Amino acid sequence: MDFKNKRVTIIGLSESGFSAAKFLKERKAKVRISEMQETAGVKEKLKLLSNVEYEIGGHTKPFILKSDMMVISPGVPMCAGPVKWAKEKGIPIIGELELGTMFCPAPIIAVTGTNGKSTTVTLIHEILKANGIKSFLLGNIGTPICEDILKVSRDSVVSLEVSSFQLETIKIFRPKVAVYLNLTQDHLDRYSDMEEYTKAKFRIFENQENSDYAVLNYDDDAVRPLGNKIKSKIFYFSMRQKVKGAYLEGEKLMLDIGSGPLEICGRKDINLAGEHNIENALAALLAVRLIDKDAAIAPTLRTFEGLRHRFELIAEDGGVRYIDDSKSTTVDSTIKALKSLEGNVILIAGGRDKGSDYSFVRSEADKIKCLILIGEARNKIKEAFSGLLIPIKEAKTMGEAVSLARHTAARYDTVLLSPMCSSFDMFKDYKDRGRAFRRAVFDELSQIALPKQVF
């Protein structure tokens, strides 16, 4: 698409909005910014952009209606005022994901799902790199696609994490390999019900053709049936069944994409902790082999250490382990974390509620020795645990929560931060929350020196 001299209004100057603005300026568009916030950070970004028309501190209809096109950040819902005004006027609306992939010359491996996206897409990226393939790790994981898209060449691969928010605004987005990991309750503060959330996720397959690939979780009852509705070639990954794709057979990770079963590695060869990461590994190895049928997989699985704040062991003292799972912003991911642990768990949870049903965690109640609650959702979580003989404590700060946990824990217990909620009531993001947990742990365990670069 030729953007030269087109008036393109960007709604929301987040990281993706900022990257979209820089990219559009390079394409000679007349970039315009409409941003609700009037913070120092927003003003600094506007200075760096220079010579753009903008309004901050709110959105106004006259400003919006002067647009030839609108690009919205993922955090802007489709029911927002500027989006409604643009629709009424017939102004085309896309997201930063769509904008970037319009100019992508390389095949895209896109990963979506409620849980495990970041780990899986990073593992894909690392396997590709280990095989000498130039991979760009972009999308919802942290680097907007518009930030690096002009560096992408035909002989590279884009490893892309995709959220439901980003998929709401696609038009022609078409990944060569689309991976759907799982579907559980999430974002019900944005979507009216699970059906609406499900439809948004399913759009990852919308523009695929028969020459493309879909990778589905056979073990997920919400994901497996989608194979009947997809035009691309279907492959599955499974922990329970032999499938066309990748599967666990005893202690072996197997692959069968048409040439017969092939052992990739042993289950114990995977460096990542947790049963859920076996699933992530199966999805990743399958996605890579669909792009490169000869790629070596096992060496990366043996060395990949996972991501910060994803079920990360940060300390052990007196036989008590401290695990940072701050990225766990859903009930299902916390259940998976609990299932992956042996012994008693002191669970630190809470934050900003996303419309979740916390009662599902009761299925793992026998593992929870004590529940320590923080943040806005603590009363709702407490109510979901009513009637169980689990001590529940409340803390106003992360430091207080960790102190309570340390004095509750005994040898062989685990202190687990797995919040089930977003972080925005108390922290900038899940990374900030994880760092706060880490600081608090090392403050408590003062005999352990924390490297300064962690902060």
Q: In this structure, are residues 415 and 325 in contact, taking their beta carbons and an 8 Å threshold?
A: no
Q: Please tell me the predicted confidence (pLDDT) of residue 235.
A: 98
Q: In this structure, are residues 185 and 357 in contact, taking their beta carbons and an 8 Å threshold?
A: yes
Q: Please tell me the predicted confidence (pLDDT) of residue 274.
A: 81
Is the domain of 18 the same as that of 125? Answer: no
Q: What are the pLDDT digits (tens) for 69-123?
A: 999 989 899 999 999 999 999 999 999 999 999 999 999 999 999 999 999 999 9
Q: Please tell me the predicted confidence (pLDDT) of residue 189.
A: 85
Number of domains in the chain: 3
In this prediction, residue 302 has a pLDDT band, given cuts at 50, 70 and 90, of very high
Is the domain of 387 the same as that of 367? Answer: yes
In a domain, 375, yes or no: yes
Query: Does the pLDDT of residue 15 top 80, yes or no?
Result: yes
Q: In this structure, are residues 155 and 131 in contact, taking their beta carbons and an 8 Å threshold?
A: no
Q: Which of 303, 329, 353 is the last residue of a domain?
A: 303
Q: Please tell me the predicted confidence (pLDDT) of residue 448.
A: 47
Mean pLDDT for the stretch of residues 217-233: 95
Average pLDDT, the chain: 94
In a domain, 2, yes or no: no
Q: What are the pLDDT digits (tens) for 362-390?
A: 999 999 999 999 999 999 999 999 999 99
Mean pLDDT for the stretch of residues 290-299: 96
- Residue 146 CB: number of other CB atoms within 10 A? 27
Query: What is the rounded CA–CA span in Å between residue 22 and residue 45?
Result: 10
Is the domain of 245 the same as that of 386? Answer: no
Q: What are the pLDDT digits (tens) for 195-208?
A: 999 999 999 999 99
Q: Please tell me the predicted confidence (pLDDT) of residue 455.
A: 35
Q: Please tell me the predicted confidence (pLDDT) of residue 454.
A: 41
Query: Does the pLDDT of residue 311 top 50, yes or no?
Result: yes
Q: In this structure, are residues 323 and 428 in contact, taking their beta carbons and an 8 Å threshold?
A: no
Query: Does the pLDDT of residue 284 top 90, yes or no?
Result: yes
Is the domain of 255 the same as that of 330? Answer: no
Is the domain of 77 the same as that of 110? Answer: no
Q: Please tell me the predicted confidence (pLDDT) of residue 417.
A: 98
Residue 216 makes CB contacts below 8 A (sequence gap 6+) with: 180, 223, 224, 226, 227, 234, 235, 236, 237
Coil/strand/helix, residue 49:
helix
Is the domain of 299 the same as that of 317? Answer: no
Query: What is the rounded CA–CA span in Å between residue 393 and residue 401?
Result: 9
Q: In this structure, are residues 108 and 271 in contact, taking their beta carbons and an 8 Å threshold?
A: no
Q: Please tell me the predicted confidence (pLDDT) of residue 256.
A: 97
Is the domain of 78 the same as that of 160? Answer: no
**Cα angle: 76, vertex 79, 81; to 5 degrees:** 80
Token digits of residue 110 = 């896109």
Query: Does the pLDDT of residue 453 top 60, yes or no?
Result: no
Query: What is the rounded CA–CA span in Å between residue 328 and residue 340?
Result: 14
In a domain, 142, yes or no: yes
Q: In this structure, are residues 365 and 387 in contact, taking their beta carbons and an 8 Å threshold?
A: no
The CATH number of residue 213's host domain is: 3.40.1190.10
Structural domain containing residue 70: 7-91
Strand 262-266 relative to strand 312-317: parallel, antiparallel, unpaired? unpaired
| Phi-psi map region of 28: left, alpha, beta (phi>0 left; psi -120 to 50 alpha) | left
Is the domain of 296 the same as that of 442? Answer: no
Mean pLDDT for the stretch of residues 330-337: 94
The answer to whether the Cα torsion of 423, 428, 429, 432 is positive or negative is negative
Q: In this structure, are residues 436 and 375 in contact, taking their beta carbons and an 8 Å threshold?
A: no
In this prediction, residue 415 has a pLDDT band, given cuts at 50, 70 and 90, of very high
Query: Does the pLDDT of residue 449 top 60, yes or no?
Result: no
Is the domain of 195 the same as that of 120? Answer: yes
Q: Please tell me the predicted confidence (pLDDT) of residue 75.
A: 87
Is the domain of 133 the same as that of 27? Answer: no
Query: What is the rounded CA–CA span in Å between residue 79 and residue 14?
Result: 18
Q: Please tell me the predicted confidence (pLDDT) of residue 50.
A: 87
Q: Please tell me the predicted confidence (pLDDT) of residue 186.
A: 85
Query: Does the pLDDT of residue 288 top 50, yes or no?
Result: yes
Is the domain of 351 the same as that of 203? Answer: no
Is the domain of 143 the same as that of 177? Answer: yes
- Residue 313 CB: number of other CB atoms within 10 A? 12
The CATH number of residue 48's host domain is: 3.40.50.720
Q: Please tell me the predicted confidence (pLDDT) of residue 1.
A: 76
Query: Does the pLDDT of residue 452 top 70, yes or no?
Result: no
In a domain, 1, yes or no: no
The CATH number of residue 447's host domain is: 3.90.190.20
Query: Does the pLDDT of residue 451 top 90, yes or no?
Result: no
Query: What is the rounded CA–CA span in Å between residue 239 and residue 217?
Result: 9
Token digits of residue 351 = 């934050």
Residues of the chain with pLDDT > 70, as a percent, come to: 98
